[in-house]
A and B are shown apart, each in its own frame.
Chain A
Amino acid sequence: MPFATGFVIFAGKALRVFLYNMIFSSRLIEDAVDAFSRLPGIGRKTALRMVLHLLKEDKDSVSRFSDTISRMRSDICFCPQCNNISDNGPCGICSDPLRNRTIVCVVENIRDVISIESTRQFNGLYHVLGGLLSPLDGIGPDQLQLSNLIGRLDQGGIEEIIMALNPTIEGDTTVYYISRQLRDFPVRITGIARGVSFGGELEYTDELTLARSIAKRLPVETYVNTENKN
Chain B
Amino acid sequence: MSFLEKISVTQFRNFTADTFTFQSPAVGITGLNGVGKTNLLDAIYYLCYTKSYFQSRELNNAQRGTAGFRIEGRFGEEQIVCKWKEGKKTLEHDGALYEKVTEHIGKYTAVMIAPDDIELINEGSELRRKFIDGLLSQSDPFYLEQLLAYQKYLAQRNALLRQQGGQQQHIHSLLDVYDQQLAQHGAYLVQEREKLSAQIPALVQQYYAAVSGDAERVGLQYRRCAGPQQLFALLQGSRRRDIEYKRTLTGPHTEDWLFTIEDCPLKSYASQGQKKSFLVSLKLAHISWLQGLGKKPFLLLDDIFEKLDRRRLLHLFALLQQCSLSQVFMTHTSAEDLTQTVHPYYKDMQLVPLGS
**CB-defined interface of A148-186 with B at 8 Å, one 1/0 digit per residue?**
000000000000000000000110110011001100000
A79 to B7, CA, bound (A): 59
Within 8 A of A (CB), among B145-194: 145, 149, 152-153, 155-157, 159-160, 162-163, 165-167, 170-171, 173-174, 176-178, 180-181
Are B141 and A208 in touch, CB under 8 angstroms? Answer: yes
B103 closest partner in A (C-beta) = A206
Are B177 and A177 in touch, CB under 8 angstroms? Answer: yes
Specify which chain B residues have a CB less than 8 angstroms from the CB of A80 in the assembled complex.
none
A211 to B102, CA, bound (A): 14
Within 8 A of B (CB), among A1-54: 1-3, 5-6, 9-10, 13
A211 and B142 contact, Cβ closer than 8 Å, known pairs A135-B163, A136-B159, A177-B173:
yes
Tell yes or no: A142 within 8 A of B by CB: yes
Contact of B174 among A6, A141, A211 (CB under 8 A): A141
Contact of A169 among B100, B149, B176 (CB under 8 A): B149
A135 and B160 contact, Cβ closer than 8 Å, known pairs A173-B177, A176-B177:
yes
Secondary structure at chain A's binding surface: helix, strand, loop or mixed? helix
Tell yes or no: A134 within 8 A of B by CB: yes
Tell yes or no: A133 within 8 A of B by CB: yes
Specify which chain A residues have a CB less than 8 angstroms from the CB of B224 in the assembled complex.
none
Are A177 and B174 in touch, CB under 8 angstroms? Answer: yes
What is the distance, in angstroms, from B68's C-beta to the closest C-beta of chain A?
A: 6
Within 8 A of A (CB), among B30-76: 66-68, 70, 72
Are B18 and A135 in touch, CB under 8 angstroms? Answer: no
Tell yes or no: B17 within 8 A of A by CB: yes
B148 closest partner in A (C-beta) = A169
Specify which chain B residues have a CB less than 8 angstroms from the CB of A136 in the assembled complex.
155-156, 159
What is the distance, in angstroms, from A148's C-beta to the closest C-beta of chain B?
A: 16
A5 to B72, CA, bound (A): 11
What is the distance, in angstroms, from A44's C-beta to the closest C-beta of chain B?
A: 18
What is the distance, in angstroms, from A24's C-beta to the closest C-beta of chain B?
A: 27
Number of interface residues of B (CB under 8 A): 45
A5 to B16, CA, bound (A): 12
A136 to B9, CA, bound (A): 36
Counting residue pairs across A and B whose Cβ atoms lie within 8 Å, the total is: 92
Are A172 and B181 in touch, CB under 8 angstroms? Answer: yes
A141 to B83, CA, bound (A): 38
Tell yes or no: A140 within 8 A of B by CB: yes
Tell yes or no: B19 within 8 A of A by CB: yes
A140 and B156 contact, Cβ closer than 8 Å, known pairs A3-B10, A173-B181:
no
Tell yes or no: B11 within 8 A of A by CB: yes
A175 to B85, CA, bound (A): 35
Are B159 and A3 in touch, CB under 8 angstroms? Answer: no
What is the distance, in angstroms, from A129's C-beta to the closest C-beta of chain B?
A: 14
Within 8 A of A (CB), among B79-104: 83, 85-86, 99-100, 102-103
Tell yes or no: A207 within 8 A of B by CB: yes
Are A1 and B8 in touch, CB under 8 angstroms? Answer: yes
A9 to B11, CA, bound (A): 11
A69 to B181, CA, bound (A): 44
Are B99 and A206 in touch, CB under 8 angstroms? Answer: yes
A142 closest partner in B (C-beta) = B166
Are B170 and A142 in touch, CB under 8 angstroms? Answer: yes
Are B102 and A208 in touch, CB under 8 angstroms? Answer: yes
Specify which chain B residues have a CB less than 8 angstroms from the CB of A176 in the assembled complex.
177, 180-181
**CB-defined interface of A201-224 with B at 8 Å, one 1/0 digit per residue?**
000001110010000000000000
A9 to B12, CA, bound (A): 13
What 5 pairs across the A-B complex have the smallest Cβ distances? Answer: A135-B159, A135-B160, A6-B10, A3-B17, A141-B170
Residues in B lying within 8 Å of A, measured CB to CB: 8-11, 16-19, 66-68, 70, 72, 83, 85-86, 99-100, 102-103, 141-142, 145, 149, 152-153, 155-157, 159-160, 162-163, 165-167, 170-171, 173-174, 176-178, 180-181
Q: Taking A2-B8, A10-B67 as given, write out 19 further A-B residue pairs in contact, using a Cβ cutoff of 8 Å, ordered by the A residue number.
A: A1-B8, A1-B19, A2-B17, A2-B18, A3-B16, A6-B10, A6-B11, A6-B17, A9-B83, A10-B85, A133-B156, A135-B159, A136-B156, A141-B167, A142-B165, A176-B180, A176-B181, A181-B173, A208-B102
Provide a sorted-by-A list of 24 A–B residue pairs whose CB atoms are within 8 angstroms: A1-B19, A2-B8, A2-B10, A2-B18, A3-B16, A5-B10, A6-B70, A9-B68, A10-B85, A133-B174, A134-B156, A136-B155, A136-B156, A140-B163, A140-B170, A141-B166, A141-B173, A142-B165, A176-B177, A176-B181, A180-B173, A180-B177, A206-B103, A208-B141
